[in-house]
Amino acid sequence: MRIVLLGPPGGGKGTQAAILKQQWDIPHVSTGELLRAACREQTPLGQKVQAVMDAGELVSDDLMLDLLEQRFAASDVDKGFILDGYPRNLAQADALDKLLRRIDQPLDLALLIEVDQQHILDRIEQRAREEGRSDDTAEVVRNRLQVYLEHTAPVAEYYAADGRLIRVLGEGEIDAITQRILAAMQAADCMH
């Protein structure tokens, strides 16, 4: 099962990905972790990523796709993956589809975890208190939400257009959200 996880920042994507990873025995491919690992390992690709990040620039779509292609070539993704943090816009969604078709691993579905904006602000405020994360101030979160609404939210409609989108309410207890995800996937006949 090959899944893209979508949703607003602070919407619980990482939490649900960790649970679903265990449930289905497929890797959680986080683009943030992929970038950090590439820098740590200092492979030729990792060195390119490090140079871009050291310059304070965003990693290009082409470079990100190279990293993803390299990751998808690993044997642990033979049964599928849960991709988190990519695509972030329509051009990336299209490029990802082309990559996955080319390597004969087409995406099965996109799972959108929908969360009310105020709920996200409350959740992130709590996470900031508990984890001391500097990127979790109200102002930063509002900015990230605005970027999400303008650029990433339309990606859901991209997947909805061809029937690959499943929407799930991401509010409430973690276990309840997981059960909603599993039920929605079962109803859509996505469980392999």
The pLDDT tens digits of the residues spanning 136-184 come to: 677 777 888 888 888 888 999 999 999 999 999 999 999 999 999 999 9
Out of 49-53, 58-62, 130-134, 173-177, the most confident range is 173-177
What is the domain partition of the chain in residue ranges? 2-187
Q: How is domain 2-187 classified at the architecture level of CATH?
A: 3-Layer(aba) Sandwich (3.40)
**What average pLDDT does this structure show over 37-62?**
85
Q: Which residue has the higher pLDDT, 55 or 164?
A: 164
Give the pTM.
0.85
Are the C-beta atoms of 113 and 11 separated by less than 8 Å? Answer: yes
- Half-sphere CA count of 47, side-chain side, radius 13 A: 3
Are the C-beta atoms of 67 and 38 separated by less than 8 Å? Answer: yes
- Whether residue 132 is predicted with pLDDT greater than 50 in this model: the reply is yes
Structure tokens at 170: 């991401």
- Give the pLDDT of residue 148: 86
**What average pLDDT does this structure show over 69-95?**
94
Torsion of CA 73, 74, 80, 83, to 10 degrees: -80
Q: Which residue has the higher pLDDT, 146 or 192?
A: 146
What is the chain's mean pLDDT, rounded? 89
Residues 6+ apart with CB under 8 A from 122: none
